[in-house]
Amino acid sequence: MAKDAVDHAIRDFERAPESITERVPLLGAWGHEARTNQRVALSRESGIGIGMIDHLLGRYGGLVDEVLALVRDRPELARPLEGAPLYLAAEVVYAVSHEGARHLDDVLTRRTRISIETFDRGVASARPAALLMAEALGWDEERVAEEVDHYLRRVEAERQSQLKITDQEADEARVQVTDIV
């Protein structure tokens, strides 16, 4: 699909080189197979269960070592994130330290899949995740409260949008909560 999109975008340019998009590996693809073959060793070395190692490999691929390094440096990050037992606390810290996340909604909706993979859409994880982010980003309690409040309002706006009859009404309900800056 990426190749098709690039080819379409440059179709009117006579001197555009042929797209190589389909041959460019995604971030984490390099080393994924090797680390997957070593999943039992990764589990033993880190003390993290094989199921969670599989989750980390599926999410971070060959970059799994970066997440595990956080756990090695701070063993408390090996615990499941409160409210999202299929995610490690380290994944929140990784989103901030390695992926550039600066807001709670970014971590819960885009950097992880907590907002769509938990029954409550990440509501129970919001404060614990914000506290982990606060440590990494130097937030005070007021900023933590703002980030959590913003996320909870976004979740509620999304829920309300799903009660609307038309797409336009749903969109209007969703945009009631603007992005945090």
pLDDT tops 70 at residue 83: yes
- C-alpha 158, offset from chain centre: 18
Confidence at residue 26, expressed as pLDDT on a 0 to 100 scale: 67
Residue range 65-76: mean pLDDT, rounded: 96
Residue 29: pLDDT band with limits 50, 70, 90: low
Q: pLDDT averaged over the chain?
A: 89
Give the start-to-end residue ranges of the domains of the chain: 1-27, 31-74, 79-181
Confidence at residue 116, expressed as pLDDT on a 0 to 100 scale: 94
Most confident of 14-23, 139-148, 165-174: 139-148
Q: What is the CATH number of domain 79-181?
A: 1.10.8
- Pairing status of strand 80-81 against strand 84-88: antiparallel
Whether the CA torsion 29, 31, 36, 39 is positive or negative: it is negative
In angstroms, what CA-CA distances link 69 with 8, 46, 64, 66? Answer: 41, 9, 9, 5
pTM: 0.83
pLDDT tops 80 at residue 32: no
